[in-house]
Amino acid sequence: MRTRGHSRVAERALATYSRLGEHAACWLALGVAGAAVAREPGTRLAWRRGVEATAFAYALNFGVKLLVRRQRPPEIGEPLTPVVSQLSFPSAHATTSFAAAGVYRRAAPAAAPVLYGAAALFAFTRPYLGVHYPSDVLAGAALGTLVARAWPR
């Protein structure tokens, strides 16, 4: 994916989007904002649960990375985006994105397609930018989905 379908515009746009997912920052901010503006206590709780699940997914992902210790793909040309570590499996972007989408959809059911679309795009950016193998993002998406399904309501 790192060598096909690339243009400078696409690379810059996807690298910028991907950086929003570093440390699950955009997902955590979404949950905090959702909880702050929610009027119903149940909806507020659902947003808070999403923040908890996203943070847990991030920590769990890091633990799996330390156990597996898979190195990132070799660089092809200039790096398209910075990385936090050289550990690749599973993708934290995919893990946190699918965990967040899975739990936040409880707070905003009508937004589920947008949430999952954003999660899928985060996952896609990682092999496109050459910093993950496709299997890293598939494993991350599966791990995040498991976290979301197991997370209390």
Within 7-152, residue ranges assigned H as helices are 8-20, 25-37, 41-68, 92-107, 112-128, 134-150
Q: What is the pLDDT of residues 78-125, one digit of tens each?
A: 678 888 889 999 999 999 999 999 999 999 999 999 999 999 999 999
Q: What is the pLDDT of residues 7-66, one digit of tens each?
A: 888 889 999 999 999 999 999 999 999 999 999 999 999 999 999 999 999 999 999 999
Cα separation, 121 vs 87, whole angstroms: 21
- Residue 21 pLDDT: 94
Q: CA-based Rg of the chain, rounded to a whole angstrom? A: 15
Report the predicted TM-score, pTM, of the whole model to 2 decimal places. Answer: 0.92
- Residue 77 pLDDT: 64
Q: Which residue has the tokens 């190195």?
A: 71
CA distances from 88 to 44, 61, 134, 146, 147 (A): 34, 10, 10, 19, 19
Q: What is the pLDDT of residues 73-82, one digit of tens each?
A: 887 666 788 8
